[in-house]
Structure 1
Amino acid sequence: MDKVMKIKSENGVVIFSKSSCCLSYAVQMLFQELRANAFIYEIDHSPDGKEVEKALMRLGSSGPIPAVFIGGKLVGSTNEVMSLHLSGSLIPLLKPTQANLSYKS
């Protein structure tokens, strides 16, 4: 739990991910398109990945991955992130954490 708390507090945008997960990849690509500087933590490349997954569930993540934090707060997984983006609410959430945030069309 301490590792998750430290990572989410030290980075404006964090995506806890697995390298083999297509939903994680989709969320990462969205943030890349938005030019958001997201810290990607690949759970499956970490020796304590199982503990990180358990900590994410304890913090309220509906599924262990992807789990997205913005400004230290859990936003959610793919559905929540995509819903925020489609409603136009994601970029305003990101702006305080990113100096050069802009949407690339």
Structure 2
Amino acid sequence: MIKLGLLVRSRSVSAEKSPNNDLGIGKVTELSYSTATVEYFCSIGQRLEKTLPLTSLYRVQLPPQTRCYIQPESQDTWIIGRIFDWDEDKGQYRIDLPDKKIA
């Protein structure tokens, strides 16, 4: 089941309605009955949003050592980190940050 905040990829539903894209992994930011808005992070200065059919989306999990960018709610700056692990109990990633910090 697709939920807000999940990381997803899209696949083609049919040749006529091809939601498949080359944008890779995106984050679900809005949901409706049959569609989801997915935000794709291209760079710190560029993010794209696409509205895609829910039937075209599937959940993905990032492997360890994947580079990621986080923006703490209290800051305007981005921090570069790397995925360390997936915490199954908390349902979230553990991220290694600069100066040996963990998010």
Greater relative contact order, per chain length (Cα 8 Å cut-off, separation 6+): 1
TM-score (norm 2): 0.26
Bigger fraction of residues in strand: 2
Larger Rg: 2
TM-score (norm 1): 0.26
Bigger fraction of residues in helix: 1
